[in-house]
Structure 1
Amino acid sequence: MYKGIYEMGFENPSPIQEETIPLALENKNVIARAKNGTGKTASYSIPIIQKIDSTKNQIQALVLVPTRELAMQTSLVIKELGKHKKIESMVSTGGTSVKEDIYRLYQTVHVIVGTPGRILDLASKGVANLENCNMLILDEVDKLLSVDFKTIVARIIEIMPKTKQIMLFSATYPIEIKEFQEKYIQEANFINLMEELTLKGVTQYYAYLEEREKLHCLNTLFSKLDINQAIIFCNSAKRVELLAKKISQLGYSCFYIHSKMQQSDRNRIYHDFKNGETRCLVSTDLFTRGIDIMSVNVVINFDFPKNTETYLHRIGRSGRFGHLGLAINFITEDNKSDLFTIEDELNTKINPIPQDIDKNLYTV
């Protein structure tokens, strides 16, 4: 167990790990608010691994996440941390073969990491037996309790044992979480590290321009910035493809990813980008949740997001695990009120972009 932690490079616990792990090991219910990139996955994965009895061929922990990308990444962390304890973890999400999941469940599985729809499908058919599953983790719970997932998550909880430990993780705490907590988690231990961690280590600027000036501005940034890897966000799949094409025409290597693509293509692009095969990825908000790519040091909002939560998740792609990051926002006349709202709600200051940006603000 400890060997797996050590091999993954964990030396000292991050604040979220320090607060969460002792409570989790005491079987307490936890509702934790912490920014992405603070070691949240390990804060529940370590207790899962410590508490699982690997001699039993039973599903003992279920981690629900909103996207396949996050499921794959979380499962990888659990596998690495638990390899010396022979913990068997599987990923189960929509958009993949149900037959393969069924075949896998005939073998030993201790932990399932998956998206709600697929998990409910397997559990309601009795293929995934959850009667000994006493740990439930909802990661990015704000998304899991949205209209798309809410009733599915409630049905999964009803299938699970009456007495179980529930842990919720989120950067934001909307009313849906409060209602869920009142219904399912009467005795909850609250951890809130948002004040300390919101956008820490990320320098934020805005460039005020017209729509037609955006590409020229982006080209200028490419030539002036010291980019390890950058993610550029657009508000629609169509604009992602269009911008990626324009960037390629400017002579820069570039990948793009969005939710309308085949799952296998998304997996391949994510994998290749993570392995550093290109410096630049154009994406929709599909890519904002739980994606850990350490070398991303620049995030550009080519299209400014409409709400605070999306902004927080996008900007959280840089400055991961205490690394420094840079966020640049393209602001048109239409975005001004959104910019003021986000500054106000996050209690942060987004400054006008200077002529020259100090490299020490976003490079090691």
Structure 2
Amino acid sequence: GASILLTLKLYFLFHLIIVWVFPTKIVLLITTRFGDDWKKCLELPPKDTRVKTSDVTSTKGNEFEDYCLKRELLMGIFEMGWEKPSPVQEESIPIALSGRDILARAKNGTGKSGAYLIPLLERIDLKKDHIQAIVMVPTRELALQMSQISIQLSKHLGGVKIMATTGGTNLRDDIMRLDETVHVVIATPGRILDLIKKGVAKVDKNQMVVMDEADKLLSQDFVVLIENIISFMPKNRQILLYSATFPISVQKFMSKHMQKPYEINLMEELTLKGITQYYAYVTERQKVHCLNTLFSRLQINQSIIFCNSTQRVELLAKKITQLGYSCFYIHAKMMQEYRNRVFHDFRNGLCRNLVCTDLFTRGIDIQAVNVVINFDFPKNAETYLHRIGRSGRFGHLGLAINLITSDDRYNLKNIEDQLVTDIKPIPSSIDKSLYVAEFHSVDAEDGGEEKA
């Protein structure tokens, strides 16, 4: 009995020491792990010190933490290098979290993807094993890019299942994937409709639909597919539309399918403030020589060069390689697997220049691109806007150079008028501060190119 009593005394004495003598240390230990110091454990990318324009800096001063987001989602946001919300994110995130429909008009490269992916991921309920959100985009490349961003943002959320599905890939793989839990589907319209009609993608409980590049998705190419997809979803689903331009087709869709959408318009002007635009007046035969001169004189980090046909893309890429510059090319007639590889390698900086058709104009976000060259001038203002928006991403500086023949001169004037922008004659020397964030020389490579 004495030994039992001694044991009890020792237990209570130990209990008192732990609870009353060391309570502050216990609390401190918990605070260090779960309190305000959680940011110190983040794997942050190098800080982006480049100059940014008011397209992304003229904010209300909000922080991502102001929106009561899950800490695990905040960790993903900060590890993406997103420090503060851009104007379109400030406008979108709280409204999207409330469940209201949104019609948002904002320039390319101002953070539209974060404006819808952040609230979308915040609202995913991991206890439910059905599709809860669908993001529709017009191209395969954009679908793959959005899925990569979504996976990075959600990596600390502990089990959000994200799937990208596009045409040109094995349908059986998608069917097998959907046999397991999927919370978010990022898709091109044709493929997701095919999976819905086969009864594989069950969207009857889907709560959120996002359309990125909505003007393209609601054009004649896609609108019938979109209407069909929406018909399989519940009536109380939330719809978010994002685009740089909103033609009549978008207005028709809005009045038919959306419930008093919250309208965001950050388009007092159409072109990004950080992009300087020039034209060079040439004959068709002078274009390659002019391009060679630009390569030798400009400080190109990465460039995208646009042509108006697949045949011209291949011919120009061959010419650029013969001139001694590194060059990839991409167009819609190439096999999807090869397109994916080219896009991935260019994004990772394996090549300085990319020649392409308008396949590459929408939403493609490669931060290193600081020069866009229209080897062939586009036919309309919308295409021009999307092309030059490949440089100057997220408020950074960029250069757009247009090679203009006599056949293009009226088109140039029309596009200037429609976009209310000024495309100036190219000067003999272009100030590097207009398109190079930090300029310092390194050893020349790729036939004399200078690296930014």
TM-score by length of 1: 0.99
Q: 2:306 aligns with which of 201, 215, 233?
A: 233
The RMSD of aligned alpha carbons is 0.8
Deviation at 1:354, TM superposition (A): 0.1
Q: How does 1:138-287 map to 2 (within 5 A)?
A: 138-195=211-268, 198-287=271-360
Distance in structure 2 (CA, Å) of the matches to 1:29 and 1:186: 6
Deviation at 1:78, TM superposition (A): 1.1
Q: Give deviations 1:295-334, integer Å, cap 9, x for gaps.
A: 0000000000000110000000000011100000001111
Q: Does 1:128 align with 2:184?
A: no
Deviation at 1:76, TM superposition (A): 1.1
Structure label with greater radius of gyration: 2
Q: 1:75 aligns with which of 134, 147, 156?
A: 147
Distance in structure 2 (CA, Å) of the matches to 1:348 and 1:114: 34
Q: Rate the CA distance shift 1:309–1:197 in 2: closer, same or farther, 3 A.
A: closer
SS in 2 for 1:330: strand
Distance in structure 1 (CA, Å) of the matches to 2:380 and 2:126: 43
Q: How does 1:36-47 map to 2 (within 5 A)?
A: 36-47=108-119
User: Mean alpha-carbon deviation: is it higher for 293-302 or for 82-91?
Assistant: 82-91
Distance in structure 1 (CA, Å) of the matches to 2:259 and 2:177: 35
Deviation at 1:201, TM superposition (A): 0.1
Deviation at 1:196, TM superposition (A): 5.1
Distance in structure 1 (CA, Å) of the matches to 2:338 and 2:267: 34
Deviation at 1:199, TM superposition (A): 2.1
**Ranges in structure 2 where 5+ consecutive residues have no aligned partner:** 1-72, 438-452
Query: Which amino acid is 1:26 matched to?
Result: S
Distance in structure 2 (CA, Å) of the matches to 1:35 and 1:266: 26
1:27 corresponds in structure 2 to: 99
Matched-pair contact (CA < 8 Å) for 2:137–2:188? yes
Distance in structure 2 (CA, Å) of the matches to 1:186 and 1:8: 33
Query: Which amino acid is 1:250 matched to?
Result: L
SS in 1 for 2:81: coil
SS in 2 for 1:83: coil
Distance in structure 2 (CA, Å) of the matches to 1:264 and 1:54: 32
Q: Does 1:104 align with 2:177?
A: yes
2:444 corresponds in structure 1 to: none
Deviation at 1:148, TM superposition (A): 1.7
SS in 1 for 2:360: helix
Q: 2:391 aligns with which of 303, 315, 318?
A: 318
Deviation at 1:55, TM superposition (A): 2.1
Deviation at 1:198, TM superposition (A): 2.5
Deviation at 1:6, TM superposition (A): 1.2
Count of aligned pairs: 364
1:305 corresponds in structure 2 to: 378
Identity in percent: 63
Query: Which amino acid is 1:126 matched to?
Result: G
TM-score by length of 2: 0.80
Q: 1:58 aligns with which of 103, 122, 130?
A: 130
Distance in structure 2 (CA, Å) of the matches to 1:81 and 1:316: 24
Query: Which amino acid is 2:299 matched to?
Result: D
Query: Which amino acid is 1:215 matched to?
Result: V
SS in 1 for 2:268: helix
Deviation at 1:106, TM superposition (A): 1.1
Q: How does 1:12-23 map to 2 (within 5 A)?
A: 12-23=84-95
Matched-pair contact (CA < 8 Å) for 1:124–1:159? no
